[in-house]
Amino acid sequence: MKEIVIDLESEKKEILKRYRALLRACKPTMQKGDKQMIRKAFDIALESHSDMRRKSGEPYIYHPIAVAQIAAEEIGLGTTSIVCALLHDVVEDTDVSLLDIELIFGKKVSKIIDGLTKISGIFDPNSSIQAENFRKMLLTLADDVRVILIKLADRLHNMRTMEFMPRDKQLKIASETSYLYAPLAHRLGLYAIKSELEDLSMKYTDPDTYKFIARKLNEKKAERERYVAEFVEPIEEILTDQGIDAKVFGRSKSIHSIWNKMRKKSTPFEEVYDLFAIRIIIDSQPEFEKADCWKAYSIVTDLYRPNPDRLRDWISSPKGNGYESLHTTVMGPKGQWVEVQIRTTRMNEIAEKGFAAHWKYKESNPDSGLDQWIQKVRDILSSPESNALDFVADFKMNLFSDEIFIFTPKGSLIQLPQGATALDFAFEIHSDLGASCIGAKVNHKLVPISHILQNGDQVEIITSTKQSPKEDWLNFVVTAKAKSKIKSSLKEEKRKVAEDGKEILERKLKSLKVTYNTDNLNKLTQFFKLFSTQDLFYNIAKGEIDVKDLREFALAEKSVDSVNSNHFDSHVEGLVRKINKRDQETLLIGDDLQKIDYTLSPCCNPIPGDDVFGFVTINDGIKIHRNNCPNAASLMANYAYRVVKAKWTSQKELAFLTGLSILGIDDVGLVNRITKVISEDFKINIRSITISSNEGIFEGCIMIYVNSTDHLERLIKRLKQIKGITGVNRFESEIVS
Q: How far is the CB of 85 from Mn ion (least distance, A)?
A: 9
> Looking at beta carbons, which residue is closest to Mn ion?
154
**Residue (154 or 394) nearer to Mn ion, CB:** 154
φ, ψ (nearest 5 deg) of residue 206: -140, 65
**Is 154 a binder of Mn ion (CB under 5 A)?**
yes
Q: Which of 58, 73, 93, 493 is catalytic?
A: 93
**Residue (66 or 244) nearer to Mn ion, CB:** 66
Q: Whole-angstrom Cα distance, residue 319 to residue 343?
A: 14
58 is a catalytic site residue: no
Q: How far is the CB of 67 from Mn ion (least distance, A)?
A: 6
Q: How far is the CB of 157 from Mn ion (least distance, A)?
A: 7
Cα angle at 713 between 709 and 719, to 5 degrees? Answer: 145
Q: How far is the CB of 64 from Mn ion (least distance, A)?
A: 7
Q: Whole-angstrom Cα distance, residue 91 to residue 117?
A: 7
**Residue (89 or 557) nearer to Mn ion, CB:** 89
Give the contacts of 316 (CB within 8 A, at least 6 positions apart). 290
**Residue (116 or 326) nearer to Mn ion, CB:** 116
**Is 69 a binder of Mn ion (CB under 5 A)?**
no
Residue 699: strand pairing partners: 663, 692
Cα-based distances in Å from 451 to 284, 299, 431 = 42, 41, 18
**Is 162 a binder of Mn ion (CB under 5 A)?**
no
**Is 153 a binder of Mn ion (CB under 5 A)?**
no
Q: Which of residues 605-634 bind Mn ion (CB under 5 A)?
A: none
**Is 89 a binder of Mn ion (CB under 5 A)?**
yes
92 is a catalytic site residue: yes
Helix (H) or strand (E) holding 246: strand 246-252
Stretch that binds Mn ion, among 148-156, 282-290, 410-418, 667-675 (CB under 5 A): 148-156
**Residue (63 or 502) nearer to Mn ion, CB:** 63
Q: How far is the CB of 12 from Mn ion (least distance, A)?
A: 22
Q: Is the Cβ–Cβ distance between 440 and 414 less than 8 Å?
A: no
Give the contacts of 331 (CB within 8 A, at least 6 positions apart). 304, 305, 306, 307, 337, 338
Q: Which of 43, 92, 402, 503 is catalytic?
A: 92
b/e string for 263-286 if b means 16 or more Cβ within 10 A? eeeeeebeebeebbbbbbbbebee
Contact string (CB under 5 A) for Mn ion, positions 350-369, x = contact: --------------------
Stretch that binds Mn ion, among 153-161, 442-450, 666-674, 685-693 (CB under 5 A): 153-161
User: Residues, the chain, total?
Assistant: 737
Cα-based distances in Å from 701 to 216, 432, 607, 662, 711 = 71, 44, 18, 6, 18
**Residue (166 or 696) nearer to Mn ion, CB:** 166
Q: How far is the CB of 188 from Mn ion (least distance, A)?
A: 19
Stretch that binds Mn ion, among 154-162, 410-418, 493-501, 708-716 (CB under 5 A): 154-162
Cβ atoms within 10 Å of 483's Cβ, excluding its own: 23
Stretch that binds Mn ion, among 71-79, 151-159, 328-336, 531-539 (CB under 5 A): 151-159
Please work out the total of residues on this chain that contact Mn ion, with binding judged by CB under 5 A. Answer: 2
Stretch that binds Mn ion, among 135-143, 150-158, 257-265, 532-540 (CB under 5 A): 150-158
Residue 694: strand pairing partners: 697
Q: Is the Cβ–Cβ distance between 658 and 607 less than 8 Å?
A: yes
Beta pairing class for 326-332 and 312-313? antiparallel
Residue 693: strand pairing partners: 698
Q: How far is the CB of 22 from Mn ion (least distance, A)?
A: 15
Catalytic residues: 92-93
Q: Where does this chain bind Mn ion (CB under 5 A)? A: 89, 154
